[in-house]
């Protein structure tokens, strides 16, 4: 039987899921609770200039891209198979919308990070 | 009799191809005691109320895998499910979901058996040994790799539970995929590449699964097909990306 191309999407899904499980809650805590309330971190930790500087460093670019892109690929795959299980069988449309959305999001994030002005 | 006799209503899905256009429910009032299984309830119906009711059974002790049916909408072995759990509201028994009904509670097993045969569900020796060389040895750790998956009794409850199989019968399904893993994970077996390349790596194989996990929940023998499939997805994905740099794997 024909070999499935699913490993490509499943690997992105798996990587995104692993990342979401490992750092998702920590990110919500830091960006949504700790920094705005000013404990543990200084209140200006996430100021525009700090975030811009973070995104200018090559390591920062990788972290931001990984979080944005992999989270999106994870969500795309999850929504795709969930719709399938619930009986939405417009397979091509669903795939194009889910994976296409994640692809476009990845490209926009990568382009923005690479062409970041000071 | 120690128990005072109670009466429970059992609704049975009937389908007699020679007279029914489509399956219909028929209700029976069955006297029962607390130690009676749903299977015994059906046997009471067949012996005393209506001899035309058809269902499969054999061992009465969750070993043969013959008496699987939908009991109040859930796939269960009728020998392992007790009438008392459904008293006083009564219960509904139907043929296993997703499988073609042959008659009443009897479903067709051809698709399952064909799929089971296709995975070569037997050990393909890694190396030929002569009698003088003795038996194939295995450590307890090596046995642990496959033991739980060898508990499958082919009852097909997981097929009735799997929404993916219900939507697309070309999907190999949980039970047979768990059995494929059972042989692939056996240290004495050398048929792994053959089984994976002919089916495992395909959409009809491990990749058809959408990770719902209901198969593992309904298994009466504690087999975890969802786990077997997930392990194989990981291995299949690694193989997908590394086959081009692995000698002899690129053309597969």
- In the predicted structure, residue B252 carries a pLDDT above the cut 60: no
Q: At what angle do helices B225-242 and A6-27 cross, to 10 degrees?
A: 110
Q: Same domain, yes or no, for B206 and B171?
A: yes
Nearest CA in chain A to B166: A85
Domain of residue B52 covers 6-107
Residue numbers of chain A with a pLDDT score lower than 50 = none
> Does residue A2 lie within any of the structural domains?
no
Domain count, chain A: 1
Chain A positions touching B193 (Cβ under 8 A) are none
Residue A1 placed within a domain: no
Residue carrying structure tokens 């499939």: B229
The CATH number linked to B222 is 1.10.1060.10
Using a CB–CB cutoff of 8 Å, tell me whether B87 touches chain A. no
Domain boundary among B73, B107, B141: B107
The tokens of B205 are what? 């194989």
Note whether B96 and B219 are same-domain residues: no
Alpha-carbon distance A69 to A17, whole Å?
Answer: 12
pLDDT above 80 (res B3): no
- Verify that B125 and B198 share a domain, yes or no: yes
- DSSP track, A32-98: IIIHHHTSSS-TTTT-HHHHHHHHHSHHHHHHHHHHHHHHHHHHHHHHHHHHHHTT---HHHHHHHH
At residue A81, the pLDDT reads 87
CATH code at B47? 3.10.20.30
Whether the predicted pLDDT of B241 surpasses 60: yes
Among B55, B77, B107, the domain boundary falls at B107
At B184-193, the pLDDT tens digits run: 999 999 999 9
Task: Tally the residues of chain B.
Answer: 252
Closest among B150, B146, B250 to B197, alpha carbons compared: B250
Residue A113: phi and psi, rounded to 5, are -65, -40
Q: What is the pLDDT of residues B13-49, one digit of tens each?
A: 999 999 999 999 999 999 999 999 999 999 999 999 9
Predicted confidence (pLDDT) per residue in B163-176, tens digit = 999 988 999 999 99
pLDDT at residue A82, as a whole number: 87
Strand partners, B77: B68
Record: contact B240-A7, CB cut-off 8 A? yes
Q: Please identify, among B85, B107, B129, the residue that sits at the C-terminal boundary of a domain.
A: B107
The closest alpha carbon to B176, from B148, B154, B198, B191, belongs to: B154
Q: Any idea what the CATH number is for the domain that residue A22 is in?
A: 1.20.1300.10
Q: Does B16 contact chain A (CB < 8 Å)?
A: no
Q: Does B49 touch chain A (CB under 8 A)?
A: no
């Amino acid at each position: 039987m024909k070999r499935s191309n699913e490993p490509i999407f499943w690997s992105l899904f798996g990587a995104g899921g692993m990342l979401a499980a490992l750092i998702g809650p920590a990110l919500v805590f830091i960006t949504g609770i700790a920094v705005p309330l000013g404990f543990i971190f200084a209140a200006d930790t996430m100021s525009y200039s700090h975030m811009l500087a973070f995104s200018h460093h090559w390591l920062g670019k990788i972290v931001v891209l990984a979080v944005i892109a992999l989270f999106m690929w994870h969500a795309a795959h999850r929504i795709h198979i969930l719709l399938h299980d619930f009986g939405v069988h417009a397979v091509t449309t669903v795939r194009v919308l889910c994976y296409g959305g994640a692809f476009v999001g990845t490209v926009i994030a990568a382009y923005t990070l690479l062409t970041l002005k000071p | 009799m120690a128990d005072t006799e109670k009466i429970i209503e059992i609704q049975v899905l009937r389908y007699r191809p020679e007279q029914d256009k489509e399956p219909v429910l028929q209700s029976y009032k069955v006297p029962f005691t607390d130690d009676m299984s749903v299977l015994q309830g059906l046997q009471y119906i067949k012996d005393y109320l209506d001899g035309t009711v058809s269902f499969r059974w054999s061992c009465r002790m969750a070993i043969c895998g013959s008496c699987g049916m939908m009991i109040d909408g859930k796939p269960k072995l009728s020998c392992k499910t007790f009438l008392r759990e459904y008293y006083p509201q009564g219960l509904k028994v139907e043929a296993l979901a997703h499988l073609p009904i042959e008659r009443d509670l009897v479903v067709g097993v051809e698709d399952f058996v064909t799929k089971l045969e296709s995975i070569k569900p037997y050990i393909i020796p890694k190396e030929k040994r002569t009698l003088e060389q003795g038996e194939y040895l295995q450590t307890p750790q090596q046995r642990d790799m496959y033991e739980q998956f060898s508990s499958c009794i082919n009852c097909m409850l997981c097929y009735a539970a799997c929404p993916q199989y219900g939507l697309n019968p070309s999907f190999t399904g949980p039970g047979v995929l768990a059995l494929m893993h059972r042989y692939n994970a056996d240290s004495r077996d050398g048929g792994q590449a053959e089984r994976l390349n002919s089916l495992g790596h395909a959409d009809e194989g491990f990749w058809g699964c959408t990770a719902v996990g209901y198969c593992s929940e309904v298994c009466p023998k504690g087999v975890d097909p969802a786990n077997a499939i997930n392990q194989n997805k990981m291995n299949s994905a690694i193989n997908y990306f590394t086959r081009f740099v692995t000698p002899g794997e690129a053309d597969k």
